[in-house]
Amino acid sequence: MGVSKSRNVAEGLVPIWDSSSDETTPMPNQEVIRKLIEQLGDPSRSNQALLALLLKGDEGARALAGFLVSARPSCVPEARLLAVEGLSILKSPGALSTLVSVASRNLAEISDPVVRLAEETVASRAALALADFSSPRAHEALLKLLEGKPLIGVAEAFAKSWDLRAIPRLVSWLEDDFVADAARRAISVCGRMAFSALLDSLGEKHTQCECETGMSQRRRGRVLGLLVDILRSDEVHLIESALEDPVDIVRLNAARAVLNKGDITQKKRAFEAVLPLLDSSDGAMRGDTEDLLLEHFSIGHQLIEREIDRRSRAGESAGEFFPRETALGVLLRIRKKGQLILEERR
């Protein structure tokens, strides 16, 4: 008796009969797998196709590995991403080698920038998958990947499985806007053990045409943002010079660290150092500065009064909002809110 044509693999994905034959003979397993691999590229069937391949165990893993190795990267990476996910779940003997190969690919060899960006996503996902393997080979492969192009997946992998050897490179990745957040999370996991590398990076300025680059400025700001959480009170003097830095984000984060861990004299110096940031043309910078000053109002309320008096005498208006609200208007708001907070604490 023939196999019913209503019976399909993976809930209707691939018929298990051979439609090219007049007889309803079962489709060979190899052909079933081939069709499942094809369906990884079909958004309406891809998830079920992956599930069907996972159910085939090692056989499905070999098919997924073969697909990743043989298929050319494209601008639509979804099928390759699913294949990486499948191998990370199955963890078959060949899965690790394939994921290392995909994560280590020289992306510069891909001439099309759209395809290169899509394949970078695949490489990043493959790198992250390596963190789920207990094999020392997987961890060594991740360390090797630190020497190449910064990838979000590599940084995320070290957030899951940290290694002191990775810290210096991850700190340098704070200069790459695309991976900086992932690198920051990975460094945070290391806690105090990242202190020396962060402090060294704070003192490094990368210049172009005798001016510090924007990426270098942002890196130093991010470094101070990390130091806020791990700096000790007896180490505040190591970053005090950053309170006079010409870069706004560096000065703001330095003040945040000093206001959290410094003595009363250091805190007042930090409070005063960020008052000029209320004149910044960057709305986010002004907002962050206002929040910081309000948070530490009890330390600097006299400095607020003095600054309000100075600006009023200089003729600054508190009611102007174009092109932006004046610093005097913000200072008056900080004073009003701060006084209410102090009264509630009494």
User: Model pTM?
Assistant: 0.83
8-9/14-15 β-pairing: antiparallel
Residue 24 scores a pLDDT above 70: no
Query: Other C-beta atoms within 10 Å of 13: how many?
Result: 20
| Distance in angstroms (rounded) separating the CA atoms of residues 48 and 86 | 12
Predicted confidence at residue 4, as pLDDT, reads 41
State what percent of residues in the chain have pLDDT above 90: 83
Strands 14-15 and 207-208: unpaired
The DSSP output letter for 27 is: P
Scanning the structure block, which residue is given the tokens 């050897």? 165
Pairwise pLDDT comparison (161 vs 193), residue with the higher score: 193
| pLDDT bucket at 320, cuts 50 / 70 / 90 | confident
Of the listed ranges 143-152, 222-231, 310-319, the least confidently predicted one is 310-319
The larger pLDDT score, comparing residue 318 to residue 83, is at 83
Write down the pLDDT at residue 231. 95
Task: Give 318's pLDDT tier (boundaries 50, 70, 90).
Answer: confident
Q: What is the 3-state secondary structure (H, E, C) of the chain?
A: CCCCCCCEECCCCEECECCCCCCCCECCHHHHHHHHHHHCCCCCCHHHHHHHHHHCCHHHHHHHHHHHHHCCCCCCCHHHHHHHHHHHHHCCCCHHHHHHHHHCCCHHHCCCHHHHHHHHHHHHHHHHHHCCCCCHHHHHHHHHHCCCCCCHHHHHHHHHCCCHHHHHHHHHHHHCCCCHHHHHHHHHHHHHHHHHHHHHHHCCCCEECCEECHHHHHHHHHHHHHHHHHCCHHHHHHCHHHHHCCCHHHHHHHHHHHHHHCCHHHHHHHHHHHHHHHHCCCHHHHHHHHHHHHHCHHHHHHHHHHHHHHHHHCCCCCCCCCCCCCHHHHHHHHHHHHHHHHHHHC
Helix 152-160 × helix 113-130 angle, to 10°:
10
Q: Give the pLDDT of residue 324.
A: 84
Higher pLDDT: 25 or 253? It is 253
d(CA 285, CA 104): 39
CA atoms 68, 157, 185, 166: torsion sign:
negative
Separation between Cα atoms, residue 268 and residue 303, nearest integer Å: 8
Predicted local distance difference test score (pLDDT) of residue 131 = 95
pLDDT of 64-93, one tens digit each? 999 999 988 999 999 999 999 999 999 987
What does the pLDDT average to over 13-35?
60
- Average pLDDT value for the chain: 90
Contact 149, 131 (CB under 8 A): no
Tens digits of residue pLDDT in 250-285 = 999 999 999 999 999 999 999 999 999 999 999 999
- Neighbouring C-beta atoms of residue 39, cutoff 10 Å: 22
- Angle (CA) 19-23-25 rounded to 5° is 75
Position 28 confidence tier, pLDDT thresholds 50, 70, 90: low
